[in-house]
Structure 1
Amino acid sequence: MASVRIILSLLLLAALGIIAQCGASRAIKAAYWPSDVEIPASSIDTSHFTHIYYAFLLPDPTTFRLNETVSDQTKLPEFTGMLQKRKPAVNTLLSIGGGKSDRNVFSRMVNSSETRTAFINSTIEVARKYGFDGVDLDWEYPADERDMSNLALLYKEWRKALDKESKRSGRIRLLLTSAVYYASGFQVDGPPRSYPSQAIRKYVDWVSPMCFDYHGSWENFTGEHSALYDPKSNISTSYGISPWIRAGVPSRKLVMGLPLYGRTWTLQNPNVTGIGAPAVGNGTLTYEQIVEFNVQNHAAVKFDEESVSYYSYVGVSWIGYDDVGSVRRKVRFARSQRLGGYFFWALGQDKNWIISRQASRAWDH
């Protein structure tokens, strides 16, 4: 009998191991839905995603509680209500901040226990009120090491509050995620600083490095704004992901960002058309707009093996972007690095779900 019990115990442990492995290997296939886009939440094809973010709510600059605009009060329940009815179902996360938010508001918010608590409590209240599955912070970007140290305290206190609320309410704990710079350490508009990797490892479900906007209108030459590799510089996704892992953030807690838009330039010389050509950066186009532009203008389309990106040009117009081939390669890179998954910025920019569909298939196969 003892030997039978041992065998059964071993079989049970093996089964639990398989279950755990299956749970750990479930990819995060996420995307942000800007609440001001024309695409309604009801039209999101959830078969390509596991998580959708509502973007964005902002904290009040004085009280640090979340502001719900009149528009938000209509769109928030529509967003969660519609997506909860879809098949397959997806998790919804409430994202706070964004590229257009005032980073100084976040800096003031994290600066004391009282203001952090006011912010945290408000995020939980709003997330529960509208039926979200998690909360997401998109602070672009903490300005210095003091901000980063306070961010670590925010993560710690936020997770503690989420655990406490879950225990008290008997509901599944809200997820805690955060959009971050593409590299764990950086020097942009300020002194060198690094994200609190140990706090992220202990308290955050995952962080989402924004692996795009490497090049743009601030430069006088063409560039691939989401290059996977760049042998000439450290501005690339492959370079950015590595220090996150070296800093101690588990690879499974990294969800790699992918853009559904490209950046545009005006060439100085229409006969000099490669990456790095002298040019004036002048804006962005969605993937859908790029496809239509290329067809309508008979643009030359090139795949750059070095950066794993595409570019097209006609006359003096030049666009750097991702297409099906490069997105497949980047998703497979994420999987090869054992990352937690990927996310897109942003819904409403794809064309007939082409990129979203191919990314999902590339991960699964």
Structure 2
Amino acid sequence: MNSRSVKRSVLTLALAALFAAGPAAAFKVVGYFPTWQGDVNSIPYGRMTHINYSFVLPTNSGGLQALEGGGARLNTLVSQAHAKNVKVLIAVGGWNDGDDSAFRSLAANSSYRANFVNNIVNFVNQYDLDGVDIDWEYPDAGAEANNFRLLMQDLSRALKPRGKLLTAAVTHNDWPGSVDSAVIEAVDFLNLMVYDLNYPHSTYQAAQAALTHWKFSEGLPKSKAVLGVPFYSRTNYIAYRDIIARYGAGAAQVDNAGGLDYNGQPTIKAKSELALNEAGGIMFWEISQDTRDNLSLMKTIWDTVGHAAGGGNGGDNDGGTPGDNYPDWNSNTYYAVGAIVRYEGKLYIAEHANPGYNPTISTWFWNPYTSTGGGNGGTPTYPEWRAGTQYAKGAVVRFNGRLYIAEHANPGYDPTISTWYWDPYTPAPGVDPGLVWKRANLTNYTSYPDPGSDECVNYNGCMWAGYFAFLNGKQSQDWVSANNIAAVHSKDAGAYKLKTLRLRQGSKSIDVKVYDMCSDSDCNGCCTANSRETGFLIDIEKHTMDRFGSGSGVVEWSCLDCK
């Protein structure tokens, strides 16, 4: 067995937390807004689902310091946000010049913790807030992490019965090690601060790595992962709006102007699409750093994810779900599966996610739609979801104009609430009418890992580089790079040895050949761990992953040459 058993050094799961179901919401768009700058009357409320007002500071004994900017400012923000159906949370803590002594003190003492929780509840009630975001930067591993867990559990017990949200801001990789399955269970979601890293400080690759780490190494469910992006340059901490003012509109299309490292519109759009596929939301620091024109990063985000977040066609909507007044189709808008648009007087539903393809030309992406919920003109006939109906694993239903597949058998749970039981579903392309599609957990490996890498050292990658279980001899790097290679769990190797599998994930598709297997004996049980969600593991080689465009998550597959 070789190293494709696997680079799973980073994929040892906190399994219980990964598959614990939490109450799910629509895709989240979370913006932080500071107490010390920005005009609450100029916030584009319609481009968010949540605002984290930042920050109120704790005291050593669990009290709260006076709110910078005053209560009237917060009252105005809450009033305007709620009028647009946007939730407001109070963010507690923040960087605070690296001084987390108050958190360390209050969390370590049960009386202080109780005092803090009571003060938080009173603060939330006083300002009619929707929840709390804890931004302790950062509890160290060990005693502080244990106290952080106790604090989050105490807050959860106090806030959840009141219908309030509890979230936390955390690092891109849980450094220095303060989040465990109990914290994940306690929160509604985590805001992953994937910025302030190296130079450049917030790349697309860093976002990918962060989501992979939190899913597989920390056991964070997709619905609770909110990807954080910056609206500023780490170099000299210059706001995006000031970069545009200094270097002009062209700076919005790149990630570096004048040596400043930031995210322009293309990268923000790409990260938004990544979050749609791999996370439950996107977050940004912070609202006042954005422009208020077509170069706006908030506009870019909302144009990309607004439909999944419950918004309209990407403009300054009211944050509500569109009713019969469906938005007009826009060629510059990203549409998620199930989005409904009006084009030339007719309605169309997005059967596949797309970046604004024409509904009458790109008919694989769009189908005619009637407002009663039924499609026509070749739309697959999927039944409408019915409460109280027993659904087997793999059942596909239509709910509110969108398709969902049962991840687990259930007695008719709501697809948008019970997301452990249901996932959004993309129907099979018309070119594959005879294929039987199944689901598998998708991972990836490197056939020729770098000397000294985790895979090379911890999984005998150096010894097994270029070797495959179902082929004789060592294969060259050129051969590996030219072929689409997959491995399956050793328990399935007999059935799928040297078979060709077709994989699809969203609009992506690729055919791979099973040349190898993943054996638990070579990686301390990682193969079974990585197949836990679906019961079937497909592990693709890195070159294959690059061609496919994905190497993680859940993939649909069909065997092309199985009898």
Common fold by TM > 0.5: yes
How many Å separate the matches in 1 of 2:299 and 2:252? 22
1:118 aligns with 2:89: no
1:190-224 CA-partner distances (Å, limit 9, x unpaired): xxx42333113321000101011113xxxxxxx21
Aligned equivalent of 1:214: 197
Cα 1:60–1:320, aligned 2, differ >3 Å: closer, same or farther? Answer: same
1:224 aligns with 2:194: no
1:104-143 CA-partner distances (Å, limit 9, x unpaired): 2111111021111111110110011011000110111112
Shift of 1:300: 8.1
1:254 aligns with 2:230: no
Runs of at least 5 residues in structure 2 that lack an aligned partner in the other structure: 1-22, 308-334, 336-563
Q: Does the residue aligned with 1:348 lie in a helix, a strand or coil?
A: helix
Taking structure 2 as the reference length, what is the TM-score of the superposition?
0.48
Q: Which of the pair has more CA radius of gyration? A: 2
1:27-53 CA-partner distances (Å, limit 9, x unpaired): 11010110111x321221111100011
What letter corresponds to residue 288 of structure 1 in structure 2? Answer: R
How many Å separate the matches in 2 of 1:312 and 1:70? 33
1:327 aligns with 2:268: yes
Taking structure 1 as the reference length, what is the TM-score of the superposition?
0.72
Cα 1:302–1:349, aligned 2, differ >3 Å: closer, same or farther? Answer: closer
**2:196·2:202 contact (CA, 8 Å) conserved in 1?**
yes
1:263-322 CA-partner distances (Å, limit 9, x unpaired): 33xxxxxxxxxxxxxxxxxx12111111121139xx88884xxxxxx1123xxxx11111
Shift of 1:99: 1.1
How many Å separate the matches in 2 of 1:254 and 1:66? 28
Cα 1:36–1:301, aligned 2, differ >3 Å: closer, same or farther? Answer: closer
Cα 1:226–1:128, aligned 2, differ >3 Å: closer, same or farther? Answer: same
Aligned equivalent of 2:104: 107
Q: What value does the CA root-mean-square deviation take over the aligned residues?
A: 2.0
Aligned equivalent of 1:5: none
1:312 aligns with 2:254: no
Cα 1:243–1:114, aligned 2, differ >3 Å: closer, same or farther? Answer: same
1:52-81 CA-partner distances (Å, limit 9, x unpaired): 1111000123x3211224732332222212
**2:253·2:264 contact (CA, 8 Å) conserved in 1?**
no
How many Å separate the matches in 2 of 1:145 and 1:237? 27
Cα 1:300–1:99, aligned 2, differ >3 Å: closer, same or farther? Answer: closer
Alignment of 1:131-150 (within 5 A): 131-150=128-147
Q: Does the residue aligned with 2:204 lie in a helix, a strand or coil?
A: coil
What letter corresponds to residue 349 of structure 1 in structure 2? Answer: Q
Aligned equivalent of 2:244: 291
Aligned equivalent of 2:149: 152
Cα 1:118–1:355, aligned 2, differ >3 Å: closer, same or farther? Answer: same
How many Å separate the matches in 1 of 2:201 and 2:27? 25
Q: Does the residue aligned with 2:31 lie in a helix, a strand or coil?
A: strand
How many Å separate the matches in 1 of 2:72 and 2:213? 41
Work out the percentage of aligned pairs sharing the same amino acid.
26
**1:30·1:50 contact (CA, 8 Å) conserved in 2?**
yes
Shift of 1:342: 0.7
Aligned equivalent of 1:163: 160
1:182 aligns with 2:152: no
**1:301·1:312 contact (CA, 8 Å) conserved in 2?**
no
How many Å separate the matches in 2 of 1:79 and 1:107? 30
Q: Which runs of 4+ in 1 moved over 4 A?
A: 299-303
Shift of 1:149: 1.1
- Larger relative helix fraction: 1
Cα 1:294–1:124, aligned 2, differ >3 Å: closer, same or farther? Answer: same
Higher mean alpha-carbon deviation, 202-211 vs 39-48, is at 39-48
Alignment of 1:186-205 (within 5 A): 186=175, 193-205=176-188
